Structure 1
Amino acid sequence: MPNETNLNRRHLMIGAGVLAATYAATPSLAADDTSETPLDLTGTSILITGTSSGFGRLGAEHYARLGAKVFATMRNLPRPEATELKELANAEGLDITVIEIDVTQDRQVKSGVKKALKAAGGKLDVLINNAGMALSGPIEAQDMQATQLIFDTNVFGPQRMMRAVLPAMRAAGGGQIFNVTSQLGRVIIPGFGQYSPTKFALEAMSEQLAYEVQPHGIEVTIIQPGGYPTKIWENQAKPTAALKSRLSDDMLAAYPQFTAGMGKVGSGGGESDPMDIPRAIARTIAMPKGSRPLRVALHPVARPQEMINKVSAQTQIAVLGKSPYGPSIKAVLD
């Protein structure tokens, strides 16, 4: 049996992927889908959070190259990543506007969305809630400072953004919201702090919103990446180290298998291609209105959440399908 201290997210996700392959069919939007035809997103306005790196940065470039008008948001401007993205847009003639938004700041969310709406003629077609963070360590070690920080980013941030864009989407009679959660928004690995709790919360909030806005012609899609090599592994080190410095020796000793590596810069995701996520989002945007899926699980190997997604949908329809909520629930899930 493997030593628990040597387990990491990549090993667990690969193992889970083998299990998933046994029970679940590959979805039409799986990462290994190479049957796509060239997409044209011309005329589509897209606002993305967290575009300084990772899925957000790759997505900003990808959607713009497909013709979209992209509003790439990030915090702490000016910063080198913003300058680099602007220079790339100028060099390639891409329609990318960089706007400062820290999703934990009410004022920045409101002002940033207002700027994007004005530049887009009062209507945003797509919101991609991509900004997020991670912290490691056992749940007992997650003090309220760390807990509030990660929930403010991963849960309250998307809520701020959705509340900012929804009035215009409702007025326009349509729109699309993507919330990037995680495989760990359905499957739990010990020692990942409040990451799974925040992603579980975002999963639930997204699904509830999908039912509620369906009559307004607005669609919600939850993107569930498995392990991918992005900067989340590097970026979690600093806030986790800060958390560790606040913990008592007794707390550290109580969970040695989970606290020993706290604050260290790690790596993960293997050799999977982070472009899987922007490509899947672009394909979903290009789908006919009313046909877009509620959830898209993405990873070339590990997609164990597909089993949970299937059972969850069946349960929702079984419990509420014949209730007054049934038409909206079936429209989202069928």
Structure 2
Amino acid sequence: MSRSMSPSRRQLLLGAGAAALAASTVSGASAQSAGRDAMGLSGKSILITGASSGFGRLGAEHYARLGAKVFATMRNLPRPEADELRALAEDEGLDITVIEIDITSDEQVEAGIAEAEAAAGGALDILINNAGIAMSGPIEVQDLEATKLMFDTNVFGAQRMIRAALPAMRQAGRGQIFNVTSQLGRLIIPGLGQYSPTKFALEALSEQLAYETVDKGIDVTIIQPGGYPTEIWQSAADRSGALKERTRDPLLAAYPQLTAGMGQASNGGGSTDPMDVPRAIAEIIMMPAGQRPLRKPVHPAAKPQIPINEVSAQQQLAMLGNSGYGPWLRAVLER
């Protein structure tokens, strides 16, 4: 499994040429970095998916108020949520551009990224893959229509966005990609259908991407929220109800405890503050490149994924740390 390649960690993070340049201008770079931190997110271009509600809508406002140029994307334009966001931006003098992107559409993803890059004058600084859906019901009840929709949105949608945004980021030699997963991308609650499988997949995709882009100046961070009171709960109830209606009664009866509540809305977030997530993302953006964490659990109460994150990193390094892949792993995990 080893490879005949042994670049140093610094070479991986900066590249040989960039390392030489950094060595000759470290004082000036430090001063510039301090100035950027003082301005919050001023000068940063940020594209976020799923900005019609929840973490996406709150984030679009928050990053713009910190000075960022925000591209707030959502599907099915025109829609009231887009009009409301545009009106808010105009009232507060915020730099927010609403772009139509349905992340299940190759064409809309490519066109939306191109529009944002043209407006930003080049590569995006930050891509936030926030859009996602949920649907309850046991795995046997999850028909292929439900399964394909969940994976197309929660996994393939992020992959489409990543592949569209990465070429310009690589050419620029910089960038940050956030993928919003969940506590349930590390743990499983029975009866939540394909939600955890999709979030587990996005966790793995994100970690793999982090290793593969660390030597290109691109950071990848996985945001792992716990439960928050956002619109995802009602949307999940609507989709679960539709799934229940098209499911045969004998199959529903085979899992009575796990199907009885399908279609019923709940508030799994309690009284927690959804702004925790945009604040955490903004804080990570303002960290120096190359020092941003691979994973960030976000919740005011229990974070049961933390020990899983820790043992996962330990075992990755135990398996591959001394191989030719070691520099990539250490550059990502030893932060």
Runs of 4+ with >3 A deviation: none
Task: Look up the match of 2:58.
Answer: 58
Amino acid at match of 2:189: I
Deviations 1:235-294 (A, max 9, x none): 112211111111111111000101111112222201111000000000000001110000
Task: Look up the match of 2:232.
Answer: 232
2:213 is the alignment partner of 1:185: no
The alignment partner of 1:135 has SS state of coil
Quote how far apart the aligned CAs of 1:85 are. 0.1
Task: Look up the match of 1:284.
Answer: 284
Name the CA distance, whole Å, in 2 between partners of 1:227 and 1:41.
27
Task: Look up the match of 2:275.
Answer: 275
Name the CA distance, whole Å, in 1 between partners of 2:81 and 2:302.
31
Deviations 1:104-162 (A, max 9, x none): 01100000001000000021000000000000000110000000000000000000000
Task: Look up the match of 2:126.
Answer: 126
Pairing of 1:24-43 with structure 2 (within 5 A): 40-43=40-43
Task: Look up the match of 1:135.
Answer: 135
Amino acid at match of 2:279: R
Name the CA distance, whole Å, in 1 between partners of 2:59 and 2:134.
20
Name the CA distance, whole Å, in 2 between partners of 1:177 and 1:39.
21
Deviations 1:21-64 (A, max 9, x none): xxxxxxxxxxxxxxxx9761000000000000000000000000
Name the CA distance, whole Å, in 1 between partners of 2:55 and 2:39.
19
CA distance 1:193–1:39, shift in 2 (3 Å): farther
Does the 8 A contact of 1:39 with 1:283 survive in 2? no
2:206 is the alignment partner of 1:196: no
Name the CA distance, whole Å, in 1 between partners of 2:240 and 2:102.
20
- Of 252-261 and 37-46, the range deviating more from structure 2: 37-46
Does the 8 A contact of 1:244 with 1:262 survive in 2? yes
Name the CA distance, whole Å, in 1 between partners of 2:159 and 2:213.
14
2:287 is the alignment partner of 1:293: no
Amino acid at match of 1:122: G
Name the CA distance, whole Å, in 2 between partners of 1:235 and 1:170.
36
Task: Look up the match of 2:246.
Answer: 246
What RMSD, in angstroms, separates the aligned Cα atoms of the two structures?
Answer: 0.9
2:308 is the alignment partner of 1:308: yes
Does the 8 A contact of 1:227 with 1:268 survive in 2? yes
The structure whose Rg is larger is 2
Name the CA distance, whole Å, in 2 between partners of 1:324 and 1:44.
35
Task: Look up the match of 2:70.
Answer: 70
Task: Look up the match of 2:211.
Answer: 211
The alignment partner of 1:72 has SS state of strand
Name the CA distance, whole Å, in 1 between partners of 2:326 and 2:217.
16
Amino acid at match of 1:175: G
2:104 is the alignment partner of 1:115: no
Does the 8 A contact of 1:39 with 1:286 survive in 2? no
Task: Look up the match of 1:30.
Answer: none
How many residues in Structure 1 have an aligned counterpart in Structure 2?
Answer: 298
Task: Look up the match of 1:329.
Answer: 329
Name the CA distance, whole Å, in 2 between partners of 1:107 and 1:240.
28
Name the CA distance, whole Å, in 2 between partners of 1:276 and 1:120.
27
The alignment partner of 2:316 has SS state of helix
Quote how far apart the aligned CAs of 1:209 are. 0.3
Name the CA distance, whole Å, in 2 between partners of 1:206 and 1:181.
10
Name the CA distance, whole Å, in 2 between partners of 1:295 and 1:175.
17
Does the 8 A contact of 1:51 with 1:57 survive in 2? yes
The alignment partner of 1:236 has SS state of helix
Name the CA distance, whole Å, in 2 between partners of 1:281 and 1:230.
17
Amino acid at match of 1:58: L
Name the CA distance, whole Å, in 2 between partners of 1:293 and 1:111.
30
Name the CA distance, whole Å, in 1 between partners of 2:130 and 2:279.
14
Name the CA distance, whole Å, in 1 between partners of 2:159 and 2:91.
34
2:104 is the alignment partner of 1:104: yes
The alignment partner of 1:133 has SS state of coil
